[in-house]
Amino acid sequence: EVQLVESGGGLVQPGGSLRLSCAASGFTFRNYWMHWVRQAPGKGLVWVSRINSDGTSTRYADSVKGRFTISRDNAKNTVYLQMNSLRAEDTAVYYCARDGDTGYECTLDYWGQGTLVTVSS
């Protein structure tokens, strides 16, 4: 069974940093691209970042470029999101998701349960 379990969320002050983790199981993690998607309270889904299977290629939404860094450790079956210079508008539930086997890139077939990040003083 495919499982994605996020951790690392919490309350952080504006300008602070946080690192999210997403532990994967139930599939061959090193073969899949992975994504982060966020959802502000009561709002819609916003794509944040993705990383390819071996970690050599990454992409970011303009809103987080230069502040967030996605990475992965295929030996630990884990993808990370390092978030620096956090702003109030980064407050959201952050989901990790797998880029599936559909033949279409950026089609997210499995999602974690999400971890809440709150940026507030």
Which is nearer to another protein, 15 or 93 (by Cβ)? 93
33 binds another protein (CB under 8 A): no
35 binds another protein (CB under 8 A): yes
Token reading at 29? 């993690």
Token reading at 2? 């495919």
Query: Nearest approach, Cβ of 39 to another protein (angstroms)?
Result: 9
3-state SS, residue 105:
coil
Which of these segments, 21-29, 38-46, 69-77, 79-87, binds another protein (CB under 8 A)?
Answer: 38-46
Query: Nearest approach, Cβ of 108 to another protein (angstroms)?
Result: 6
27 binds another protein (CB under 8 A): no
1 binds another protein (CB under 8 A): no
100 binds another protein (CB under 8 A): yes
Residue 114 to residues 1, 10, 37, 79, Cα–Cα distance (Å) = 18, 12, 9, 13
Instruction: Find residue 20's DSSP bridge partners.
Output: 81
By the 8 A CB rule, do 115 and 93 touch? yes
